[in-house]
Amino acid sequence: MNEALNIFTRGFVKENPVTKMLLGLCPVLAVTTTAINGLGMGLATTFVLLGSNVVIALASKAIPSTVRIPSFILVIATFVTIVDLLIQAFSPELNQSLGIFIPLIVVNCMILGRAEAFASRNGLWYSIIDAIGMGLGFTFALLLLSIFREVLGAGTIFNIPLVGEDASTILVFALPPGAFAGLGLIIAGLNSLEKKMGDKK
């Protein structure tokens, strides 16, 4: 149980894909203009990560080492296709907002990295725990950055107005430079908080 808990929490703190390992930054910076976009992309990525980890953990011994990476990409692409079709069917607006970044989950280095470094070398249960932990850690980072940018850049959260129409917002946070600045500030803040907690111990 302790090992499973350690694997799960690793994705949130020590090996958070975004704030610690800086993986998959293309969608992180591109789609986090609103909290809805960030949450949608995070959950879609988690679904793909979970599905691919399960299949790869079960089939890893049957996959020849010479075609290991292409096989992993094929598995990942299958789940990306599934989630893309589901979003198109049930949330056309989200599909339009996320655009090309849903298909690009196929080449997200975080997912391929977890398949190669973890799922192919561990059992089914631990691979599921790893996928959920990493996926939720990725989603948390996207949602945090999305809320930060949406509140400061548009004065809304989940498209709900927080200030009056005449209130001033910091437009730069709604633009690409604001994504870099916001992510940098969040990483700095989390690192500072982690350091303070470590000093107290």
> pLDDT tens digits, residue range 3-20?
888 999 988 888 899 999
Residues 97-108 have a mean pLDDT of 92
Query: What integer is the mean pLDDT of 23-40?
Result: 92
The pLDDT, as a whole number, for residue 159 is: 87
Closest CA to 19 of 115, 148, 169, 175: 148
Per the prediction, the chain carries an average pLDDT of 91
Domain that holds residue 134: 2-200
How far, in Å, CA of 148 to CA of 172, rounded?
12
The pLDDT, as a whole number, for residue 1 is 67
Predicted confidence (pLDDT) per residue in 149-158, tens digit: 999 999 999 9
Confidence (pLDDT) at 60: 87
Predicted pLDDT of residue 201? 63
Q: How far is CA 14 from CA 6, 11, 35, 179, in A?
A: 10, 7, 24, 23
DSSP class of residue 101 equals G
Residue 44 vs residues 11, 82, 99, 117: alpha-carbon distances, Å: 17, 10, 13, 21
Domain count, the chain: 1
pLDDT at 169: 86
In this prediction the pTM is 0.91
